[in-house]
């Protein structure tokens, strides 16, 4: 905490790290350092979720609440003969209901006596259930799709005047984000298949994804963002509410359709979203244009010759000087 006075992050993060370090020392007689460190890393690197996908803390929690929930989870999950272990053992024995009622926990899981009894001595086998994790992955996918669409709507529905090129820029940006979201779900599906998820469980996990979208992602085909009729009407109404402002979507939609056709050919196996140029952006000149002619009147060569030869005007009258300087009167 004293070190926290010397940095710009405040004291809360230093306090949290100090408490975690102290807890690891306290738990050392029961838990090896590697197990504790690995468990902490698993939770922090997964954004508050365990390996099974259960949420330990919310991203909106303050640092103190996050630290408290992490420590409580680690103590319950890692220490031998913990209450959770005894509850799992109780559920695995169908005829015994001392600590719990029924064989299922709050997440709908059931337990086998052999696995839970071995867990008391550090030999607990964990049954991998990829369909359970896929439910969380689908929720993340849906949130990612909503955020990708909002990149477009926030940019074009501000209410003020916008240009067609701004609409096209927002369309490209939304598809860039959407490509990453769909690519991630495709990787999650392939990982679940590698873990031998059944076809039935896979499609049940993906039931919140439309059939067309699901088939496209599994096949590795990217479906670009489709500007809905409601969004198009909103852009038109915003422009119509402003005086002397034309609907910018009329010019932008032809470009959006061309870009959409190109993007629909993309494969989700590409390492990243390709760069798409906005054809409505103004062309910037690297160097100024040099004029070839200034349309200046022609130079009187005789006047120049006379002026050069008559460098000394002291012996001439005013009328003679005037005639030399203005030969045409």
Report the candidate in 178, 280, 159 with the shortest Cα–Cα distance to residue 227.
178
φ, ψ of residue 267 in degrees (nearest 5): -100, 140
Residue 201 Cα distances to 75, 158, 214, angstroms? 33, 42, 14
Single residue among 98, 127, 156 that ends a domain in this structure: 127
Count of structural domains within the chain: 3
**Same domain for 153 and 252:** yes
65 with 85, same domain: the answer is no
Q: CB 248: neighbour CB atoms within 10 A?
A: 22
Note whether residue 240 is domain-resident: yes
Q: Within a domain: residue 17?
A: yes
* Token pair listed for 33: 């350092």
Examine residue 10 and state whether it is found in any structural domain, yes or no: yes
> Do 142 and 110 belong to one domain?
no
User: 212 and 142, same structural domain?
Assistant: yes
- Which residues, 6+ apart, have CB-to-CB distance to 232 below 8 Å? 249, 253
Residues 8 and 122 in one domain: no
pTM of the model: 0.54
Q: 214-217: long-range contacts (C-beta < 8 A, 24 or more apart)?
A: 217/182, 217/185, 217/186, 217/189, 217/268
| Assigned token pair, 265 | 């050919």
Same domain, 86 and 39: no
Encoding tokens for residue 327?
Answer: 């030969």
149 and 24 housed in the same domain: no
Measured CA to CA, the distance from residue 190 to residue 7 in angstroms comes to 44
Provide the token pair at 15.
């306090």
Last-in-domain residue among 231, 263, 295: 263
Q: Is the dihedral of CA 81, 83, 84, 86 positive or negative?
A: positive
For residues 25 and 141, membership in a common domain is answered with no
- Could you list the mean pLDDT of each consecutive 10-residue stretch along the chain, which spans 329 residues? 56 64 57 57 66 69 75 64 58 54 54 53 61 89 95 91 92 96 95 90 91 94 95 91 85 94 96 93 60 55 54 66 69
Are 70 and 105 part of one and the same domain?
no
In the prediction, which pLDDT does 287 show? 47
User: Nearest to residue 249, comparing CAs of 171, 151, 154?
Assistant: 171
pLDDT digits (tens, 9 = 90+) for 301-326: 555 555 545 455 566 777 776 677 77
Same domain, 85 and 186: no
Residue 324 · residue 306 · CB < 8 Å: yes
- 65 belongs to a structural domain: yes
Mind listing the pLDDT tens digit for each residue in 142-171?
999 999 999 999 999 988 888 999 999 999
Residue 315 lies in a domain: no
Give the domain extent around 215: 130-263
d(CA 224, CA 213): 11
User: What secondary structure letter does DSSP report for 4?
Assistant: G
Residues 153 and 89 in one domain: no
Q: Is residue 322 part of a domain?
A: no
- Of 11, 45, 79, the one marking the end of a domain is 79
224 in any annotated domain? yes
| pLDDT recorded at residue 5 | 56
Q: Report helix, strand or coil for 30.
A: coil
């Amino acid at each position: 905490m004293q070190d926290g006075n010397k940095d710009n992050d405040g004291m809360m993060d230093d306090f949290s790290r100090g408490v975690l370090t102290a807890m690891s020392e306290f738990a050392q007689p029961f838990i090896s350092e590697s197990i504790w460190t690995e468990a902490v890393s698993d939770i922090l690197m997964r954004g508050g979720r365990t390996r099974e996908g259960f949420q330990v803390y919310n991203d909106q929690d303050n640092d103190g609440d996050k630290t408290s929930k992490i420590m409580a989870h680690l103590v319950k999950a890692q220490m031998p003969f913990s209450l959770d272990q005894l509850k799992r053992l109780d559920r695995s024995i169908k005829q015994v209901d001392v600590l719990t009622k029924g064989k299922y926990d709050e997440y709908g899981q059931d337990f086998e006596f052999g696995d839970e009894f071995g867990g008391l001595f550090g030999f607990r086998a964990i049954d991998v259930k990829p369909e359970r994790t896929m439910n969380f992955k689908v929720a993340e996918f849906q949130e990612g799709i909503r955020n990708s669409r909002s990149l477009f709507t926030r940019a074009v529905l501000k209410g003020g005047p916008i240009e067609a090129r701004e609409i096209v820029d927002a369309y490209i940006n939304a598809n860039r984000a959407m490509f990453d979201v769909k690519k991630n779900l495709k990787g999650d599906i392939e990982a679940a298949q590698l873990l031998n998820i059944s076809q039935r469980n896979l499609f049940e996990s993906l039931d919140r994804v439309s059939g067309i979208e699901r088939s496209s992602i599994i096949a590795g085909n990217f479906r670009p963002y489709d500007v809905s009729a409601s969004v198009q009407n909103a852009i038109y109404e915003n422009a119509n509410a402003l005086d002397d402002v034309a609907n910018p979507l009329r010019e932008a939609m032809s470009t959006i359709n061309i870009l959409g056709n190109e993007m629909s050919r993309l494969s989700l196996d590409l390492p990243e979203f390709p760069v798409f140029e906005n054809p409505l952006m103004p062309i910037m000149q690297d160097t100024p244009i040099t004029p070839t002619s200034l349309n200046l009147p022609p130079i009187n060569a005789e006047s120049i010759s006379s002026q050069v030869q008559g460098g000394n005007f002291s012996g001439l009258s005013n009328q003679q000087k005037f005639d030399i300087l203005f030969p045409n009167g």
